Protein backbone atom coordinates (compact mmCIF):
# COMPACT_ATOMS: atom_id res chain seq x y z
CA UNK A 1 0.00 0.00 0.00
CA UNK A 2 1.41 3.37 -1.01
CA UNK A 3 1.83 5.93 1.72
CA UNK A 4 -0.71 8.69 1.04
CA UNK A 5 1.77 11.21 2.47
CA UNK A 6 4.37 10.09 -0.11
CA UNK A 7 1.85 10.55 -2.94
CA UNK A 8 0.86 13.99 -1.64
CA UNK A 9 4.51 15.05 -1.31
CA UNK A 10 5.21 13.87 -4.88
CA UNK A 11 2.21 15.85 -6.14
CA UNK A 12 3.44 18.90 -4.23
CA UNK A 13 6.70 18.82 -6.21
CA UNK A 14 8.97 16.89 -3.84
CA UNK A 15 11.28 15.14 -6.35
CA UNK A 16 12.72 12.75 -3.72
CA UNK A 17 9.21 11.62 -2.80
CA UNK A 18 8.36 11.13 -6.48
CA UNK A 19 11.50 9.05 -7.08
CA UNK A 20 10.76 6.97 -3.97
CA UNK A 21 7.21 6.42 -5.20
CA UNK A 22 8.41 5.34 -8.65
CA UNK A 23 10.93 2.94 -7.11
CA UNK A 24 8.16 1.46 -4.99
CA UNK A 25 6.01 0.65 -8.04
CA UNK A 26 8.59 -0.18 -10.73
CA UNK A 27 8.61 -3.97 -10.14
CA UNK A 28 4.82 -4.13 -10.17
CA UNK A 29 4.72 -2.10 -13.39
CA UNK A 30 7.32 -4.31 -15.08
CA UNK A 31 5.60 -7.53 -14.00
CA UNK A 32 2.29 -6.42 -15.47
CA UNK A 33 3.96 -5.31 -18.69
CA UNK A 34 5.89 -8.56 -19.01
CA UNK A 35 2.85 -10.77 -18.59
CA UNK A 36 0.79 -8.69 -20.98
CA UNK A 37 3.44 -8.39 -23.70
CA UNK A 38 5.38 -11.65 -23.19
CA UNK A 39 8.61 -10.09 -24.33
CA UNK A 40 11.31 -8.77 -22.02
CA UNK A 41 12.43 -5.80 -24.14
CA UNK A 42 8.87 -4.73 -24.92
CA UNK A 43 8.03 -5.00 -21.21
CA UNK A 44 11.04 -2.87 -20.30
CA UNK A 45 10.02 -0.27 -22.89
CA UNK A 46 6.41 -0.26 -21.69
CA UNK A 47 7.51 -0.03 -18.06
CA UNK A 48 9.78 2.89 -18.80
CA UNK A 49 7.02 4.64 -20.75
CA UNK A 50 4.56 4.02 -17.89
CA UNK A 51 6.95 5.34 -15.25
CA UNK A 52 7.63 8.44 -17.32
CA UNK A 53 3.90 8.98 -17.77
CA UNK A 54 3.33 8.58 -14.02
CA UNK A 55 6.21 11.00 -13.37
CA UNK A 56 4.74 13.63 -15.68
CA UNK A 57 1.09 13.08 -14.75
CA UNK A 58 1.34 12.57 -10.98
CA UNK A 59 -0.67 15.76 -10.47
CA UNK A 60 -3.59 14.32 -12.45
CA UNK A 61 -4.00 11.48 -9.94
CA UNK A 62 -7.12 12.02 -7.89
CA UNK A 63 -7.99 10.00 -4.84
CA UNK A 64 -11.18 8.72 -6.48
CA UNK A 65 -9.37 5.44 -7.15
CA UNK A 66 -6.54 3.71 -5.35
CA UNK A 67 -3.09 4.77 -6.50
CA UNK A 68 -2.17 1.25 -7.62
CA UNK A 69 -5.35 1.08 -9.70
CA UNK A 70 -4.40 4.35 -11.39
CA UNK A 71 -0.87 3.02 -12.04
CA UNK A 72 -2.18 -0.27 -13.45
CA UNK A 73 -4.56 1.58 -15.75
CA UNK A 74 -1.60 3.50 -17.18
CA UNK A 75 0.64 0.46 -17.72
CA UNK A 76 -2.22 -1.66 -19.07
CA UNK A 77 -3.22 1.00 -21.58
CA UNK A 78 0.38 1.38 -22.75
CA UNK A 79 0.68 -2.39 -23.18
CA UNK A 80 -2.59 -2.61 -25.06
CA UNK A 81 -1.41 0.16 -27.39
CA UNK A 82 1.91 -1.67 -27.96
CA UNK A 83 0.12 -4.94 -28.52
CA UNK A 84 -2.18 -3.39 -31.12
CA UNK A 85 0.71 -1.73 -32.95
CA UNK A 86 2.68 -4.91 -33.39
CA UNK A 87 1.95 -8.57 -33.49
CA UNK A 88 3.15 -10.47 -30.44
CA UNK A 89 6.63 -11.88 -30.83
CA UNK A 90 8.05 -15.03 -29.37
CA UNK A 91 11.22 -14.61 -27.38
CA UNK A 92 13.98 -16.98 -28.41
CA UNK A 93 16.28 -15.87 -25.64
CA UNK A 94 17.54 -18.69 -23.48
CA UNK A 95 17.18 -18.23 -19.78
CA UNK A 96 19.51 -19.78 -17.26
CA UNK A 97 17.95 -21.80 -14.50
CA UNK A 98 19.34 -20.87 -11.12
CA UNK A 99 19.10 -23.62 -8.56
CA UNK A 100 18.86 -22.82 -4.89
CA UNK A 101 20.71 -25.08 -2.52
CA UNK A 102 18.52 -27.43 -0.56
CA UNK A 103 15.99 -27.93 -3.34
CA UNK A 104 16.16 -30.86 -5.66
CA UNK A 105 17.25 -30.20 -9.21
CA UNK A 106 14.25 -32.18 -10.42
CA UNK A 107 11.89 -30.00 -8.38
CA UNK A 108 13.47 -26.81 -9.71
CA UNK A 109 13.22 -28.02 -13.32
CA UNK A 110 9.58 -29.06 -12.85
CA UNK A 111 8.74 -25.71 -11.24
CA UNK A 112 10.38 -23.84 -14.11
CA UNK A 113 8.55 -26.05 -16.62
CA UNK A 114 5.20 -25.47 -14.86
CA UNK A 115 5.74 -21.70 -14.81
CA UNK A 116 6.63 -21.71 -18.51
CA UNK A 117 3.56 -23.81 -19.38
CA UNK A 118 1.29 -21.44 -17.48
CA UNK A 119 2.94 -18.34 -19.00
CA UNK A 120 2.56 -19.80 -22.50
CA UNK A 121 -1.08 -20.65 -21.84
CA UNK A 122 -1.76 -17.11 -20.59
CA UNK A 123 -0.15 -15.70 -23.75
CA UNK A 124 -2.57 -17.71 -25.91
CA UNK A 125 -5.58 -16.02 -24.33
CA UNK A 126 -7.30 -13.18 -26.18
CA UNK A 127 -5.97 -9.77 -25.13
CA UNK A 128 -8.94 -8.83 -22.93
CA UNK A 129 -8.88 -12.19 -21.11
CA UNK A 130 -5.11 -12.08 -20.65
CA UNK A 131 -5.31 -8.59 -19.17
CA UNK A 132 -7.87 -9.52 -16.50
CA UNK A 133 -5.95 -12.72 -15.63
CA UNK A 134 -2.71 -10.79 -15.15
CA UNK A 135 -4.37 -8.15 -12.99
CA UNK A 136 -6.31 -10.69 -10.91
CA UNK A 137 -3.81 -13.48 -10.38
CA UNK A 138 -0.44 -11.83 -10.82
CA UNK A 139 -1.16 -8.37 -9.43
CA UNK A 140 -3.77 -9.60 -6.90
CA UNK A 141 -6.35 -6.99 -7.91
CA UNK A 142 -9.93 -7.36 -6.69
CA UNK A 143 -12.70 -7.58 -9.28
CA UNK A 144 -13.67 -3.99 -8.50
CA UNK A 145 -10.09 -2.76 -8.94
CA UNK A 146 -9.88 -4.52 -12.31
CA UNK A 147 -13.16 -2.96 -13.38
CA UNK A 148 -11.88 0.49 -12.34
CA UNK A 149 -8.50 -0.02 -14.05
CA UNK A 150 -9.97 -1.14 -17.34
CA UNK A 151 -13.13 0.99 -17.27
CA UNK A 152 -15.29 -2.12 -17.54
CA UNK A 153 -18.51 -3.10 -15.80
CA UNK A 154 -17.95 -5.49 -12.88
CA UNK A 155 -19.99 -8.26 -14.53
CA UNK A 156 -17.85 -8.01 -17.67
CA UNK A 157 -14.71 -8.52 -15.57
CA UNK A 158 -16.29 -11.56 -13.92
CA UNK A 159 -17.32 -12.92 -17.31
CA UNK A 160 -13.84 -12.39 -18.79
CA UNK A 161 -12.23 -14.14 -15.83
CA UNK A 162 -14.68 -17.05 -16.03
CA UNK A 163 -14.03 -17.51 -19.74
CA UNK A 164 -10.27 -17.08 -19.29
CA UNK A 165 -10.21 -19.79 -16.62
CA UNK A 166 -12.15 -22.10 -18.95
CA UNK A 167 -9.69 -21.42 -21.77
CA UNK A 168 -6.70 -21.97 -19.47
CA UNK A 169 -8.18 -25.25 -18.32
CA UNK A 170 -8.40 -26.42 -21.93
CA UNK A 171 -4.92 -25.12 -22.78
CA UNK A 172 -3.38 -26.78 -19.74
CA UNK A 173 -5.37 -30.03 -20.10
CA UNK A 174 -2.44 -32.11 -21.41
CA UNK A 175 -0.17 -30.77 -18.71
CA UNK A 176 -2.70 -31.53 -15.96
CA UNK A 177 -2.97 -35.13 -17.13
CA UNK A 178 0.81 -35.47 -16.98
CA UNK A 179 1.21 -35.36 -20.72
CA UNK A 180 3.81 -33.55 -22.70
CA UNK A 181 2.91 -31.14 -25.43
CA UNK A 182 4.35 -31.87 -28.76
Which of these three, 89, 124, 139, is where a domain ends?
89
Cα–Cα distance for residue pair 26/21, rounded to 1 Å: 9
Collapsing DSSP to helix, strand or coil, 153 comes out as coil
Residue 181 to residues 63, 108, 164, 173, 174, Cα–Cα distance (Å): 47, 19, 20, 10, 7
Domain boundary among 61, 89, 117: 89
Asked whether residue 154 carries a pLDDT value surpassing 90, the answer given is yes
pLDDT band at 37 (very low <50, low <70, confident <90, very high): confident
Q: What's residue 93's pLDDT?
A: 42
Report in angstroms the alpha-carbon separations of 149 from 65, 72, 152. 9, 6, 8
Q: In the listed set 43, 59, 89, which residue is the last one of a domain according to the structure?
A: 89
Which percentage of the chain shows pLDDT scores above 90? 38
Number of independent structural domains in the chain: 2
Range of the domain at 103: 92-181
pLDDT per residue over 117-140, tens digit each?
A: 888 888 888 988 999 998 888 888
CA angle 44, 57, 141 (to 5 degrees): 60
Looking at the structure, do residues 1 and 85 belong to the same domain, yes or no?
yes
Q: What's the distance, Cα to Cα, between the start and end of the chain in Å?
A: 43
Residues 81, 151, single domain; the answer is no
Amino acid sequence: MMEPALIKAAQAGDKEALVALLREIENQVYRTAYYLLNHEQDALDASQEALIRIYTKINSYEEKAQFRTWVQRIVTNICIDKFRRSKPSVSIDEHELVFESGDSVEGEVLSAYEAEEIREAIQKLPEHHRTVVVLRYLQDFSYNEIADSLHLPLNTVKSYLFRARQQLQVLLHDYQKGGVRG
